[in-house]
Structure 1
Amino acid sequence: MLSRTIRPAAALLARPAVQQQTMGMATLKEIEQRLKSVRNIEKITKSMKVVASTKLTRAERAMREAKKYGAANNEIFTNSKGDSSSEGTPKILYLAMTSDGGLCGGIHSGITRMVKREQAKQAGDLAVVGDKPRAQLSRAMPETFKVTFGGVGKDVPTFAEASVIADGIMKNGGDFDEIRLVYNKYVSAIAYEPAVNTVITAAALRQAAGFQAYEMEEDSSNDLAEFALANAIYTALVEGHAAEISARRTAMENASNNALDMIGSLQLQYNRGRQAVITTELIDIITGASAL
């Protein structure tokens, strides 16, 4: 009779241990699944870092070649800007330039903030290259949009792409006196910063004293201004592309390091949980053997 009375109590006492063991095994299974997921993510980010490092070399080489033309192109506007005889406040068209790609840190948001700062100094219309800044700026200043361009940044930009953008701005950019290109300036393999480059129109170029000093049989200012705009856009695109690849490599390196830290933490948590489950099972076995 006494054994019959003790059995239900023993069963009640055994239930919490079984539940605790089941909960421990479920927790270990969850940790194991999360550990496997983080390991897969670490492999992906590490591969993306290697790819970005390979692309960066080609992007830097293209940027060095493009900056040669950009330096000669800037001489025209540097000598023309100060000699312009136009009066009044010029009409500005801001051209925000990044790309459609993601996973590259704050490279797009930096351009967005720079455009907002420039707009606060002097308001103007807006043209955007890239889906990322278009999505950000369309919420802040939708009324200023004139034209947008997409499909840029998948590979090293070409002069043909820059010519298409320049032609679209000339046709759909509205009335403006100068264009201010807002792009990412490549500083080093680990640093970049937003920059602004000003390009004047053909009308402002004709009014410059330095341009009027030369005698020309026919007016070539329109062709010169459009070619110079395409050249400036091309230089900014290539330099921004190099900055984006550099930022993506840095972002993937940081993500890989964070994944490795998380793997170490989860592995330690898993080992401790597994050790706790094994210890609980040993205690149950020893207790059962002692009771017998």
Structure 2
Amino acid sequence: MKIVASTRLNKAQRAMAESRVYGQTSEEIYKQAETTAAPATEDSAVGKRLVVVASSDKGLCGGVHSQLSKKVRQMQAESPEHFDIVVLGEKAKAKLSSVLGNDIVLSFSNVGKDIPTFAESLAIADEISKLDTDYAQTSVVYNGFKSALSFEPTVADAYNETSILASKELSQYEIEDDVLRNLAEFSLANVIHWGLVEGHACEIQARRSAMDNASNNASDMIGSYSILYNRTRQAVITNELVDIITGASSLE
């Protein structure tokens, strides 16, 4: 299992490196344009936030899914207003449904079976765009790959057409008005893809570590039980020899 996970990890890391280029570029554009989400009003849903949790359907990977759900609960507790949640993967959905079930507006299964593709992210972004609420800000919560031994929940943002148009420094990019909607939709799919691919690499790495720990624990158990077996066997042989010697002595 460890060898299989190691092989898959190499492929996942290559895909992660490619997706990071587009994801970080999108993030830098928003930062340079000083894009922010418009605040929500009391009588309107405009400005409401959507949180997309990039998880998967698979287990045996340590605290990958539990850390994501913990991060979302923390964000909800710190937020002045409740936000809507979209869950990618059954593992995070199961953990969040008991606490934030009323805030989940959409969920997807069969996520993370293999390296996520941009076509899958486009399909997810398309379904999100069909929701009734016009979200000013969409945040993707995913596991950020820090090193071969560590990862941590990370948040990446995407914005709708209105928020992008209201950016203070948008004019420096010379973006035409008729392509703003396409930019917003592409940016959302791009951030979702970044989160899915990076989260997938973290999941494979965590599963590799879990399999390595399982193999080491099994080896330790085999060693302990082998010693116990040899001691027990030696004790039985010793008792039998004592019985034989005692019986022979009584016959003399």
Structure 1 residue 239: Cα displacement: 0.9
Is the CA contact (8 Å cut-off) linking 2:50 and 2:139 kept in structure 1? Answer: yes
For 1:287, the equivalent position in structure 2 comes to 246
Alignment RMSD: 1.8
Q: Counterpart of 2:4 in structure 1: which amino acid?
A: V
For 2:55, the equivalent position in structure 1 comes to 98
Which consecutive aligned stretches of 4+ in structure 1 deviate over 6 angstroms post-superposition?
Answer: none
For 2:200, the equivalent position in structure 1 comes to 241
Q: Counterpart of 2:140 in structure 1: which amino acid?
A: L
Is the CA contact (8 Å cut-off) linking 2:37 and 2:159 kept in structure 1? Answer: no
Structure 1 residue 87: Cα displacement: 4.5
For 1:146, the equivalent position in structure 2 comes to 105
Q: Distance in 1 between matches of 2:241 and 2:137?
A: 80
For 2:83, the equivalent position in structure 1 comes to 124
Q: Distance in 2 between matches of 1:141 and 1:254?
A: 33
Select which of 6, 14, 22 maps to 1:69.
22
Q: Distance in 2 between matches of 1:85 and 1:133?
A: 26
Q: More helix per residue: 1 or 2?
A: 1
Is the CA contact (8 Å cut-off) linking 2:37 and 2:137 kept in structure 1? Answer: no
Return 5+ residue gaps in structure 1 as ranges. 1-47
Q: Counterpart of 2:153 in structure 1: which amino acid?
A: P
1:89-132 superposed Cα distances (whole Å, 9 cap, x missing partner)? 73111111121111111011110111011111112111101111
Select which of 135, 143, 151 maps to 1:192.
151
1:49-100 superposed Cα distances (whole Å, 9 cap, x missing partner)? 11111111111111111111112211232234x3558445731111111211
Structure 1 residue 244: Cα displacement: 1.0
Q: Counterpart of 1:153 in structure 2: which amino acid?
A: G
TM-score for the superposition, normalised by structure 2: 0.90
For 1:169, the equivalent position in structure 2 comes to 128
1:222-278 superposed Cα distances (whole Å, 9 cap, x missing partner)? 211111110111111111111111111111111111111111111111111111111
Aligned residues: 243
Structure 1 residue 212: Cα displacement: 5.5
Structure 1 residue 135: Cα displacement: 0.5
Return 5+ residue gaps in structure 2 as ranges. 42-46
Bigger Rg, structure 1 or 2: 1
Q: Counterpart of 1:222 in structure 2: which amino acid?
A: R
TM-score for the superposition, normalised by structure 1: 0.78
For 2:186, the equivalent position in structure 1 comes to 227
